[in-house]
Amino acid sequence: MKLHQIDTTLTVTAQIAVDDMTSIAGSGFQTIICNRPDGETPDQVAFADIHAAAEAAGMKAHYLPAVTGQVSDADGKAFAALLATSPHPVLAYCRSGTRSATMWALSQVGTQSADAILQTTHTAGFDLSALADRFAAPEPTEMTAVSESGASATNVENVASVAKGNHHQIVIVGGGSAGIATASSLLARDSGLDIAIIEPNERHSYQPGWTMVGGGIFKADTTARPMSVVIPAGVKRIVGAVATFDPENNTLALEDGSTVSYQQLIVCPGLTLDWDAIPGLNDALGHDGVTSNYRYDLAPYTWQLVQSLRGGKALFTQPAMPIKCAGAPQKAMYLSADHWRREGVLKDIQIEFCNAGGVLFGVPEYVPALMEYIHAYGIQINFTRSLVAIDGKAKQATFKQTAADGTVSELVQDYDMIHVVPPQKAPDFIRSSPLADAAGWVDIDPGSMRHTRFSNVYALGDVGNSSNAKTAAAVRKQAPVVAHNVLVALGKLQGAATYDGYGSCPLTVERGRIVLAEFTYGGKLAPSLPQWLINGTRPTRLAWLLKERILPPLYWEGMLKGREWLAKPNIKPNIKP
């Protein structure tokens, strides 16, 4: 945890953890302010957990979130009010610390000059020169832009000159599975490339493992590694978050105001889990029987709930598409039901699957095997039923039910446990950019993964608008395609690589057996292994061993290292992508 002291009353930092509370309190801090919205990334710590840990350590904690790149003047005033009324010293945090520093800067408008604000934040390690105009008016009522020696503080132009922006041959936005795999595949083809990855988070997560954490098979800490460990050697990491894109000029701006330019841009920041879209959900997550395997910190709570439930009602929800790993909502349900069956309490638990869609799984060949388990576990399926609100204290969930004739009704259901999958969307900085289609996703050709309007921009992973399943298995096939086509664009390779829409969803129907769904665009079956070895339409023990024993090391030591086992792209010679 790197601390950036603004003044004697305020220090800012990046995302903190519950385990940091003892050292934070021991350093003398009296108040914590969170400037980061919950659910901004799947693996971040919820403010409710920070709040509880802070109070246990004898500190106050406040929640004042702001979307990256959208800190308002009103946020600055609210921050000033918190500073004025909270015990000092104060520790404020967000994803990187920049939003907290920006809020402080806006809180000082009218009491310090723009020069003084910029100098203070620059000394603390933040370049906010791009926001200088917002700090300049109104005229300050008290000038503090004079140093102890009597010399004037560094002016705006000098502060701005500290960071003029960076240029790189290839810039990758996002250090998740797509960004790391693509960087490694690029370097495997040309080790001399100049590549930069923009990524603010310090932890890289193997998200396919979170279902297994929620089922009691994996421990959460086995699904995460430090970002510094997975960034390929030779790739520069820019610690920051993107605010805006300017593809006409081959540049992008970070939330700290600095700019980065590029020859080729690869966009893969993942998607946003929209927890706020369901009123009451954020307040209830992690307690009151409300959980989700879609977050690193909540998957262990899923397993706690499953183990403790001996009777009552368990609800499992699935929102409207698109979502990452469309089978994950069911996986949580099947593993839970299997545990209750093994414990002999299944007969005492009413399980309901509330699916906003109209089918159990999008590829019909896999549905018969899944339905066998639905019947075996006694699960009630409620199609076209969407979760719209949660009352954690009352343990009630409100749903919108759409009938076959289109009429909509609302119903409230009690629960003892509910596993929630939130609605999902492209990140706000993507949705508001020139790269987005009408629905907010990056607009790409589904075969080449190249942007439909900007020829030196590519996208892969969850953020693209191609119709493939949003899974890590899809990324494993997409990364080599993008790597090849980018090098063709740079004049280093020839031919066109094409992605066929491959995706895979290992449906964990019970502990020890998996229905291994593999398919391409249009739902065409695409098994990777011979049918005599693994028949994907039936639950098999071998598919479970693949998921439990083989896929994690294949991810860490294969895919993220540029080793394209069973993922070599199909190259069409003498054709440009």
Q: What pLDDT does 380 receive? A: 98
Neighbours of 348 (CB within 10 A): 11
Give φ, ψ of 409 to 5 degrees.
Answer: -130, 165
Q: What is the pTM of this model?
A: 0.79
Confidence of residue 539 (pLDDT cuts 50, 70, 90): very high
Is residue 455 predicted with pLDDT exceeding 60?
Answer: yes
What is the C-alpha to C-alpha distance for residues 324 and 266, in angstroms, rounded to an integer?
A: 20
Q: Is the peptide bond before 226 cis (omega within 30 degrees of 0)?
A: no
What is the C-alpha to C-alpha distance for residues 514 and 492, in angstroms, rounded to an integer?
A: 42
Task: Determine what percent of the chain is predicted with pLDDT higher than 70.
Answer: 95
Strands 242-246 and 251-254: antiparallel
Q: Which residues are catalytic?
A: 325, 505
Cβ atoms 138, 106 nearer than 8 A: no
Q: What pLDDT does 1 receive? A: 76
Is residue 469 predicted with pLDDT exceeding 80?
Answer: yes
Q: Is the peptide bond before 364 cis (omega within 30 degrees of 0)?
A: no
> What's 166-271+426-572's CATH class?
alpha beta
Q: What pLDDT does 126 receive? A: 87
Cβ atoms 172, 474 nearer than 8 A: no
Quick: pLDDT tens for 506-538: 999 999 999 999 999 999 999 999 989 999 999
Quick: pLDDT tens for 477-503: 999 999 999 999 999 999 999 999 999
**Which of 112-121, 145-154, 281-290 is predicted with the least confidence, judged by mean pLDDT?**
145-154
154's tokens? 């560094």
**Which of 201-210, 251-260, 335-344, 442-451 is predicted with the least confidence, judged by mean pLDDT?**
251-260
Mean pLDDT value of segment 210-225? 96
Q: Where in the chain is the domain with CATH 3.50.50.60?
A: 166-271+426-572, 276-422
Place of tokens 């792209």: 569
Is residue 454 predicted with pLDDT exceeding 60?
Answer: yes
Confidence of residue 138 (pLDDT cuts 50, 70, 90): low
Is residue 238 predicted with pLDDT exceeding 90?
Answer: yes
Number of alpha carbons in the 13 Å side-chain half-sphere of residue 165: 18
Q: Where in the chain is the domain with CATH 3.90.190.10?
A: 4-160
Mean pLDDT value of segment 364-377? 98
> What's 4-160's CATH class?
alpha beta
Q: What pLDDT does 140 receive? A: 36
SS3 letters across 183-226: HHHHHHHCCCCCEEEECCCCEEECHHHHHHHHCCCCCHHHHEEE
- Letter for the amino acid at 119? Q
Confidence of residue 43 (pLDDT cuts 50, 70, 90): confident
What are 13's strand-pairing partners? Answer: 93
Number of alpha carbons in the 13 Å side-chain half-sphere of residue 302: 35
DSSP string of 136-201, one letter each residue: H-S--SS---B-TTSPBPPPHHHHHTT---EEEEEEEE--SHHHHHHHHHHHHH-TT--EEEE---
Confidence of residue 42 (pLDDT cuts 50, 70, 90): confident
Is residue 361 predicted with pLDDT exceeding 50?
Answer: yes
Q: What pLDDT does 151 receive? A: 28
Q: Is the peptide bond before 138 cis (omega within 30 degrees of 0)?
A: yes
Q: What pLDDT does 152 receive? A: 28
Is residue 154 predicted with pLDDT exceeding 70?
Answer: no
Neighbours of 89 (CB within 10 A): 16
Is residue 354 predicted with pLDDT exceeding 70?
Answer: yes
Rg over alpha carbons for the chain, rounded to the nearest Å, is 25
The whole-chain average pLDDT of the chain stands at 91
CATH number of 276-422: 3.50.50.60
Those residues whose C-beta lies under 8 Å from the C-beta of residue 7, and which sit 6 or more positions away, are 120
Is residue 150 predicted with pLDDT exceeding 60?
Answer: no
Confidence of residue 450 (pLDDT cuts 50, 70, 90): very high
